[in-house]
Structure 1
Amino acid sequence: MIYNKVICIAVQAPLVYLSSSCISRDYNNGGTVCVCNGTYCDYIGKIPKVKYPQVLVYTSNMEGLRFQKTNASFQNISAELRDSADIIIESHRTYQKVFGFGGAFTDATGINVETLKDDAREHLMKSYFSNDGIQYNVGRVPIGGTDFSTKYYSYDDGEPDPSLKKFALNSADTNYKIPCIKVAHNLTHGKLKLIASAWTAPKWMKTNGAYHGGTLKPEMYQAWADYYVKFFNEYKKQGIKFWGVTTGNEPSLAKYPLSLFQKLASIGWTANTLAQWVEEALGPTLHKSGYGDLNIMALDDQRFYLTWFIDRIFKNEAAKNYINGTAVHWYFDTVFPAKLLSQLHYKYPDKFIISTEACKGNAQVTAKNKQEMKFLFFSQIIGFFLSRGVLLGSWSRGEDYAQDIIEDMRNWVIGWIDWNMALNPGGGPTFLNNVVDSPIVVNGSANEFYKQPMYYAMGHFSKFVPRDSVRIESSQSSKVWSIAFKRPDHAITVVLLNRGKVDQDITIVDSEKGTLTLTVSEHSITTLLYW
């Protein structure tokens, strides 16, 4: 009972012990968190391999289960059961290869990690990246500052410096980003892949002379590409290499009408100017500088750009040849349907699609028809202010993550990257008061952190769907959200999301294995694994 005494002193909320090794705490937000500190943290551990006909069943739910392991077994297929099956899995029909899952190494993440003492800090990093944790294998790294920094900054502030002689990393890189990345790299045994994204250029490169809004001066196209190379060189000196780079975070931020969004660091691009920059500067400069193997991702913004914006970029054949894929964010996914992703894939099947940013803390709405789209677009922005910040224990936010991952990956997305990996209880730090939520919330003064339902929602994918898994055919059920993968070790992973208020009896038929029947509890995420 030592943990009970330590934790209760710090936070006035009751503790409930669960058999899943989660020390649960309820903040009356429709679910629970799991509490970790310097002496204790829950881990899922190594996944055992079972022999046919056994199936491993891992469940997390609103009631408080976290990766609760049980077993089920396949039975022989009967014509009657096959005809009445809720989900039919056909592993010989394959789709996209999976790249991975992860989060962003923001300044705020590093700042919050550093508020913990050594043992608690180690638990947090292991929870994300180790084989005992949920095994993140992708990280997004901001090039310079974001709204989750303590101030605006670039790597070459001050007077104009087109030759970039004054270029230097910020203390946020050396104190927070780089140390976290190195720990994560070691915990993943070198499997961590990094994607870089820039929010803004130095003010002197931009038409409006500000960090936020405006566009890049055409005469600075080459200097901006050189800036990227400088960044990669400095991180390379630290032993850190990148897998990919986006053409810049959310160009739409430069156009939003509300004052908060106008203040977010950004560079506005049209499809034509972005293609021109890639063709004339970014593409050739990366290749000449030894970074030709970097995967260039266009857009790094919302689905409402699909497919028209990419179509216009790809009219420039030179730019198209440099670009390997499209990066999308999730903030209007309830308004703009996932089928836009499939439309993009079928137009450009040789270009991958990856989701590079998501977070809760903003209200979401759904459009019933095209006439509502414009209204709801602005309603979503306004709604951002009505449901902001951290909600400790919110199960519905975890369900939102799981649903979006399933929808995205059923529509050809190869990976899904969360935003801040760690925020404080106030949803920051963020110098623009752009408070949001995070899968892990850090209470530095108590030397403890809280694993949100969003953390476990991510884990039901990242832990069980390793890199180079392949999505396989699985029919959709009206009872639950679902998706299936075949792993490199030939195991099959099936993820089920029940957002309903009642348990669901589910029959799954695998054409090669047999029939599986199980009850999926209300408001739950369940991962099945079998060989």
Structure 2
Amino acid sequence: MFSLYSSSYIKLLILIQVILIVVSRECIPRDFGKGSIVCVCNVTHCDDLKLDRMKTNEADTVTIVESTKSGKRFYLKNVSFKSAAHFKQRTHSQNYIDVTIDRTKKKQTLIGFGGSFTDSATINIKSLPQALEQRLIEDYYSENGLEYNMGRIPIGGTDFSTRAYAYNEFDGDYNLTRFALSNEDLEFKIPAVKYAEKVSKQPVLLFASSWSAPKWMKTSRNICGGTLRGKPGGRFYKIWADYNVKFLEAYRSLNITLWGMTAGNEPTQDYYINSMNFSPETQRDFLKLHLIPKLEQHGYTADKFKLMIVDTNIQHIMPFAEVVFNDSYVESYVSGIAFHWYFNRIFSLNVVTEASEKYRDKLFLSTEACAGWNKEIEEAVSLGNWTRAEAYAFDIIQVQFAIQIDLIALSNFKVLNHGAQAWVDWNLALDIDGGPSWINNTVDAPIIVNAEHGEYYKNPMFYVLGHFSKFIPRSSVRIGFEVQKSILNNAILTAFETPQNNIALVVLNPNEFDVELVVRDAKYGFFSVELLANSIQTFIWK
């Protein structure tokens, strides 16, 4: 017999947990009264997104993956192309969107999609039974899930930690001899990152972002707000560069090699969350005098490592880029521009287009997004909220791929400019209150963990992200298309050619009414389908 505390007994329990997770291709829905449903995962069932019924090797067949506000999640069906002779003229009152694919127009190449391995996210993941903990990461990074291929890792604590901390709180330790990773890294973040790398079928591109230096290095003497003490060229700027590189080296010593980093999260912040302010000028000088030389000294050369600036909201892109890139040494090393989504509905999206046109050799990555952040107008967690899912899709299509709407007789729009190459979400998983957050800065996430009940909930946002990440793999190239559509029809779309020579077309119908979609491909003819109200579809064909 097994002793209750014997290692054999514990191993048996773990084995039973693994066996109990039965692969279910169907969502187990639960309605929390927020307009749509979540899909529930526990040790007895969890829906699986491995799509073995797709027929993308048949030249005349289109596979459709559909999710809707009414409750469909990754619903699969197939249609066939028809010749132009079979096209039926639509009625005058019909709501429609007519798309013509143009493979000859090649735009930006995609790097990928991902989420952030924050303290809070990985603590929540770890709070689940081991098999379910692994399943949640697989839901994001394996081919049974969203097939994420990127990840953001905070350097030290953030507002999504259970405490305020840094890696060296010893005032006066100017040589950082007592620098050490935290328990949050060793017990939560690093195991989650390593498992994501293990289950991903492609390399996971990881990048780091710092929130705050230790408080003894700052003017505020607090983890929140303030700047580094002194000026660029001085002691504390040098120490801060050393600190960042020590983080990269510590992770590398544990067999996690980072693809890149940002120069610092939200450098324009100077208030109650973990933050540290940089002006465009101080960021430029810090990079030139301290961080870049230190990175190069340790082998993080520009050909091997991606350093990005800005890493805050889009209104700050040009003020930072114009100053930082006016130094040729810094400009030659910095790989790209990172930005967040929080004010994309307030400031003109032309900012992204202008920057991507002016700095054509730079990468453009959206590095943080979440719903429920504006406490004045919304609750943090809203389980089953379809509107938030549509906001994700709108941002990915309109902002990241910089689609400009050129209204001609209120009936059509054209893709004019290229945009960003990656879209990275914020917390991978939060608890039912949207935390933990040591300053109670709770928000929503695509997956919400209910540790007390041993289960987690996949929000509509999760599936909408999958409509992009799962079907537009790394190295896909955005292609051109022309659109005609009915008046007052807000459907939007984007199209890519994948490395497997598939076309992936993603269409969001945020309207409260159905819309007829006609897609024309000169190679095969056309196909038509009905876009259900409040739905998103991904179309894949060879």
Q: TM-score, normalised by structure 1?
A: 0.89
Q: How many Å separate the matches in 1 of 2:370 and 2:462?
A: 11
Contact preservation (8 Å) 1:50, 1:56: no
Percent identity for Structure 1 against Structure 2 = 38
The CA deviation string for residues 359-407 of structure 1, in whole angstroms up to 9 with x for no partner, is 00034xxxxxxxxxxxxxxxxxxxx333131000001100100110001
Contact preservation (8 Å) 1:506, 1:517: yes
The CA deviation string for residues 35-59 of structure 1, in whole angstroms up to 9 with x for no partner, is 0001211011045333011000000
Q: 2:384 aligns with which of 393, 399, 413?
A: 393
Q: 1:437 aligns with which of 428, 432, 444?
A: 444
Q: 2:278 aligns with which of 241, 245, 269?
A: 269
My pick for the range that moved more, 210-219 or 392-401, is 210-219
Which has the larger share of helix? Answer: 1
Q: 2:339 aligns with which of 300, 306, 328?
A: 328
- In the other structure, the counterpart of 1:481 is 492
2:425 pairs with 1:418: yes
- In the other structure, the counterpart of 2:130 is 118
Task: Say what the alpha-carbon RMSD is for the aligned residues.
Answer: 1.7
**Equivalent residues in 2 for 1:292-441, closer than 5 Å:** 292=301, 293-363=304-374, 384-411=375-402, 412-441=419-448
The CA deviation at 1:88 is 1.5
The CA deviation at 1:76 is 2.1
- In the other structure, the counterpart of 1:495 is 506
Contact preservation (8 Å) 1:394, 1:452: yes
2:240 pairs with 1:228: no
**Cα distance change on mapping 1:86 and 1:338 into 2, 3 Å:** same
The CA deviation string for residues 254-299 of structure 1, in whole angstroms up to 9 with x for no partner, is 1xxxxxxx21111111111100111111111101111112100001
The CA deviation string for residues 229-272 of structure 1, in whole angstroms up to 9 with x for no partner, is 11011111111011110010001221xxxxxxx21111111111
Q: 1:103 aligns with which of 107, 115, 124?
A: 115
2:245 pairs with 1:240: no
**Letter paired with 1:305:** H
Q: Which runs of 5+ in 1 are unaligned?
A: 1-18, 255-261, 364-383
Q: 2:192 aligns with which of 176, 180, 190?
A: 180
Partner of 1:110: helix, strand, or coil? Answer: helix
Q: 1:471 aligns with which of 471, 478, 500?
A: 478
**Letter paired with 1:23:** I
Q: How many Å separate the matches in 2 of 1:417 and 1:476?
A: 28
Q: 1:41 aligns with which of 23, 31, 46?
A: 46
- In the other structure, the counterpart of 1:25 is 30
- In the other structure, the counterpart of 1:372 is none
The CA deviation string for residues 182-213 of structure 1, in whole angstroms up to 9 with x for no partner, is 00000114511101000001112212222111
Partner of 1:123: helix, strand, or coil? Answer: helix
- In the other structure, the counterpart of 2:160 is 148
- In the other structure, the counterpart of 1:66 is 73
**Letter paired with 1:310:** A
Q: How many Å separate the matches in 2 of 1:314 and 1:425?
A: 43
Q: How many Å separate the matches in 1 of 2:190 and 2:518?
A: 47
Q: Which has the larger radius of gyration?
A: 2
Q: TM-score, normalised by structure 2?
A: 0.87
The CA deviation at 1:306 is 2.9
**Letter paired with 2:382:** L
Q: How many Å separate the matches in 2 of 1:401 and 1:85?
A: 21
Contact preservation (8 Å) 1:59, 1:527: yes
Partner of 1:475: helix, strand, or coil? Answer: strand
Q: How many Å separate the matches in 2 of 1:406 and 1:281?
A: 37
2:296 pairs with 1:287: yes
- In the other structure, the counterpart of 1:10 is none
2:530 pairs with 1:519: yes
**Letter paired with 2:107:** Y
Partner of 1:437: helix, strand, or coil? Answer: coil
Contact preservation (8 Å) 1:278, 1:322: no
**Cα distance change on mapping 1:81 and 1:301 into 2, 3 Å:** farther
Q: How many Å separate the matches in 2 of 1:399 and 1:32?
A: 14
Q: 1:92 aligns with which of 89, 104, 107?
A: 104
Contact preservation (8 Å) 1:38, 1:118: no
**Letter paired with 1:307:** M
Q: Which runs of 5+ in 2 are unaligned?
A: 1-23, 91-95, 403-418
Q: How many Å separate the matches in 2 of 1:132 and 1:477?
A: 36
My pick for the range that moved more, 176-185 or 89-98, is 89-98
The CA deviation at 1:529 is 0.4
Contact preservation (8 Å) 2:170, 2:178: no
The CA deviation string for residues 439-483 of structure 1, in whole angstroms up to 9 with x for no partner, is 000001111000000000110001001000011112345431100
Q: How many Å separate the matches in 2 of 1:325 and 1:78?
A: 48
Aligned residues: 486
2:212 pairs with 1:200: yes
The CA deviation at 1:317 is 1.8
Q: How many Å separate the matches in 2 of 1:102 and 1:286?
A: 25
